[in-house]
Amino acid sequence: MCLAAVAERDGIISERYSGSGANALIAGDFCRLGWPHHLTGRNWVAWPGHMANNRATENKCQKPMNPVAIHNSSILAIEDDPVLGAYLHEELQRGGFQVTWCRNGQEGLETAGRQVFDVVLMDILLPGLNGLDALAQLRRRSTTPVILMSALGAEADRITGFQRGADDYLPKPFSMAELQVRIEAILRRVDLERRRKVQPQVEPGQLQYDEAASDVCLNGQWAGLTPSEYRLLDTLKRSQEEVLSKPFLYQQVLQRGYSRHDRSLDMHVSQIRRKLKSVGYHDQQIRTVWGKGYVLSAAEAD
């Protein structure tokens, strides 16, 4: 008997699930029934019947991916769970992506070293080399955008992910529709960045912005920004001395709506400040204008 049928038999489908049936079951319901851990807390509620029904639902309401954004786009998915990994591989390929699936952090890191990818999807709770350590090693040689996927959705876990170099963080459980929208947003930004190749000449002691590398350099020393951090700093630079609101920056840089509970932008700002300080850049700084947003302005004299 399939899980959906057992769940209905055991009476955990209530009025709050009306219209969506077993597809709306949450992890906690299956925990109360004693389902295995891999079907509940760590990954998400996902099983073959649910996947098929969920796919049909998503295909009805989901807009087609932008052909320009996904043309020849390659994705590296690093996920050890066989059910979730196979589902990601199948659905993303169905969406037009070229997908390589690795089942542990070491294998994923080696694959990323041999082949260029447009986006990396990485679980955190991987066997052997975990996702955070794999991400830290990847960042030493690559600026490829990375989306972390994890059931560790607490603020401290998200902060750690961004500090290690993540561009986005998607807590489990999540829908394929949301994952594809986030991938598409990253690909649009990457496509735009690749078109900006010509860099202006800079004087010694000035901060050099390199859009191809998604990083800034001072006197030959690179700051090591992530693509998201670079976009944020570049956006502020283009509007120097002008306060840019958080809703505007979320839409312009992260390409999603602003929520007062979302700390992603604040984390990126913190990382930029730390990295600019590490290369000895003090001419300008990102200042917080409380109640308004952020501004890149001349550093205040001590």
Please give the DSSP secondary-structure letter assigned to residue 95. T
* The residue type at 97: F
Which residues are registered as beta bridge partners of 218?
A: 221
pLDDT tens for each residue of the chain, 302 residues long = 333 333 333 333 222 233 333 333 333 333 333 333 333 333 343 333 344 444 444 444 344 444 445 557 899 999 999 999 999 999 999 988 999 999 999 999 999 988 989 999 999 999 989 999 999 999 988 889 999 998 887 888 888 899 889 999 998 888 999 999 999 989 888 777 666 654 556 677 789 998 888 999 998 899 999 999 999 999 999 988 899 999 999 988 988 888 888 899 999 999 999 999 999 999 999 999 998 999 999 887 65
pLDDT at residue number 90 = 93
The angle subtended at Cα 296 by Cα 300 and Cα 287, nearest 5°, is 60
Say which CATH class 198-298 falls into. mainly alpha
What is the CATH number that goes with domain 66-192? 3.40.50.2300
* The residue type at 60: K
Ranges of each domain in the chain: 3-59, 66-192, 198-298
User: What does pTM read for this prediction?
Assistant: 0.51
* The residue type at 126: L
| Strand 146-150 relative to strand 215-218, pairing | unpaired
The answer to whether 3 touches 49, Cβ cutoff 8 Å, is: yes
Radius of gyration of the chain from its Cα atoms, rounded to whole angstroms = 21
Q: Which two structure tokens, joined as six digits, stand for 302?
A: 């001590």
